[in-house]
Amino acid sequence: MLEFRVVARDGRARRGRLVTARGVTVETPVFMPVGTQATVKSLSPDELESLGASIILGNTYHLYLRPGAERVARLGGLHRFMAWHRAILTDSGGFQVFSLARTRAVEEEGVRFQSHIDGSSHFIRPETAMEIQRLLGSDIAMCFDECTPYPVTRDYAEESMRRTVRWAERCRRSRTGDHQAVFGIVQGSVFADLRKACLEALQEIGFEGYAVGSLSVGEPKETMLSVLEELAPCLPEERPRYLMGVGTPEDLVEGVRLGIDMFDCVMPTRNARNGALFTSSGNLQIKNSRFADDSEPIERGCTCYTCRRFSRAYLRHLFLARELLAYRLNTLHNLHYYLKLMADIRNAVEAGSFESWRKDFYERRSGGSS
Ligand SMILES: CCOC(=O)Nc1nc2cc3nc(NC)[nH]c3cc2c(=O)[nH]1
Ligand SMILES: [Zn+2]
């Protein structure tokens, strides 16, 4: 059973503590680095630990296609396979099937799709998604849902949401792994009444945590925030709240302010590989020629491995030379930035000073008192 306690509140923001059934503690609000193919790209598990990561994401869709869930189970499960002994949340693959797979057909029974790797045909039912996550042995499994694109008509959103609820029922009844919690995913696109109807139906079924799906799928920022503003307070107080696929540093701050506990996003790791680096005053693109002779670190005062040792000039050189070390050093910095941001947010919520911390956060980003 997944334990969760809110230990402090500051407005709608919550400071909480998750303890997985295996006994791993996750301080919330938390950012979960994405480890799509059983690795957070370019980093070792020891480096992830030293960055302070407590929980990472694994992608069911990818691991099902390669190397296969049965193979990972035969080798002792995902934690042992990738030597990561803290917490793992696996997504159900719903989003990947909708965003990655070639040709797909959604039926009541499940989703038919072709692998983006070799074009082979597959059919995933909600029960299959839960079986895959059981074999992987993650600490938190996600229901198989239908991620609704943006924009859609209200009828489409309602039809899709009702299917997600029927699938959630089937997921709840599926056999799950020992010590594995299951989260439901709230759908309903941008329609507040559909979102609330979905949440009520999911609470009827009963889950250990509740995720907000189909956001950060191309909708305007203010639309995402208004959906959250209305929905977040309705999510069960005493259960973890997870906003999927979000987001930029500003999104994390606003998500916490609206009562979200858990976040995942490929941004820090993907941007690192594209040379886009996060700093307190905004992003910098390391390949920019203005850094050619810059002996400063990415960000003065950043305590990450990269900033303690290397100059912007060196990082630009590595990036232009497509040296593998570029991806590692950029990723170490960006993940450090995200994980440190969440640690600062946790301290501010705990101290009851989140609003003043938030004001400083924005001042620094608008080139204020840096
Ligand atoms: C992480 C759990 O994912 C699932 O099992 N289904 C799911 N995943 C999503 C991932 C998303 N990423 C973004 N933006 C980058 N939006 C997302 C929505 C979903 C979703 O509705 N449903
Ligand atoms: Zn740094």
Q: Whose CA is nearest to atom 3 of ligand 1?
A: 91
Annotated active-site residue 264? The verdict is yes
Q: Helices then strands (H, E): number in the chain? A: 15, 16
Is the dihedral angle over the CA atoms 315, 320, 322, 327 positive or is it negative?
positive
Token readout for 256 is: 């916490």
- Name residue, tokens 């600062």: 344
- Cα torsion through 208, 238, 247, 67, rounded to 10: -20
Tokens of 119: 């074009």
Nearest CA residue ID for atom 13, ligand 1: 245
Q: Which residues contact ligand 1 via a Cβ below 6 A?
A: 91-92, 94-95, 142, 145, 147, 185, 213-217, 244-245
Q: What is the DSSP letter of 235?
A: S
Cross-strand bridge partners of residue 106: 111
Q: Which of 10, 139, 251, 264 is catalytic?
A: 264
Q: Which of 106, 145, 147 to mutate to test the pocket of ligand 1 (most atoms within 8 A of CB)?
A: 147
β pairing state of 87-91 and 282-285 = unpaired
307 in a known ligand binding site: yes
Respond yes or no: is residue 91 known to be catalytic: yes
The C-alpha atoms of residue 210 and residue 155 are separated, in whole angstroms, by: 24
* Predicted local confidence at residue 368, as pLDDT: 56
Residue 145 is labelled as binding a ligand:
yes
Residue spans of alpha helices (H) in 35-186:
45-51, 60-65, 69-74, 78-82, 94-99, 126-136, 154-172
Tokens 């159900």 sit on residue: 92
Which residue ranges in the chain fall short of pLDDT 50? Answer: 369-370
Alpha helix (H) residue ranges in 311-353 = 312-320, 324-351
Q: How far is the CA of 125 from the centre of ligand 2 (A)?
A: 43
Angle at CA 214, nearest 5°, toward 62 and 272?
A: 55
* Residue among 10, 91, 139, 261 flagged as catalytic: 91
Q: Which residues contact 52 (CB under 8 A, 6 or more apart)?
A: 339, 340, 343
Residue nearest to atom 8 of ligand 1 (CA): 95
The partner residues of 191 in beta bridges, in order of sequence, read: none
Q: Which two tokens stand for residue 111?
A: 């989703």
Contact, 84 vs 137, CB < 8 A? no
Buried b / exposed e over 260-291, threshold 16 CB at 10 Å, is bbbbbbebbbebbbebbbbbbeeebebeeeeb
Q: How many A from CA of 217 to the centre of ligand 1?
A: 9
Per domain, the residue ranges of the chain are: 28-265, 274-365
pTM (2 d.p.): 0.98
| CATH 3.20.20.105 is the classification of domain 28-265 | yes
For 223, how many CA atoms within 13 A lie in the half-sphere containing its CB? 12
State yes or no: 94 annotated in a binding site. Answer: yes
> What ligand is nearest to the CA atom of residue 280?
2
3-state class (DSSP) for residue 124: strand
CA dihedral 358, 364, 369, 370 (to 10 degrees): 130
Where are the extended beta strands (E) located within 228-293? 241-243, 262-264, 276-279, 282-285
Type and span of the H or E element at 89: strand 87-91
Q: How far apart are CA 139 and CA 21, in angstroms?
A: 7
Kindly state the DSSP code that residue 259 receives in the 8-state scheme: T
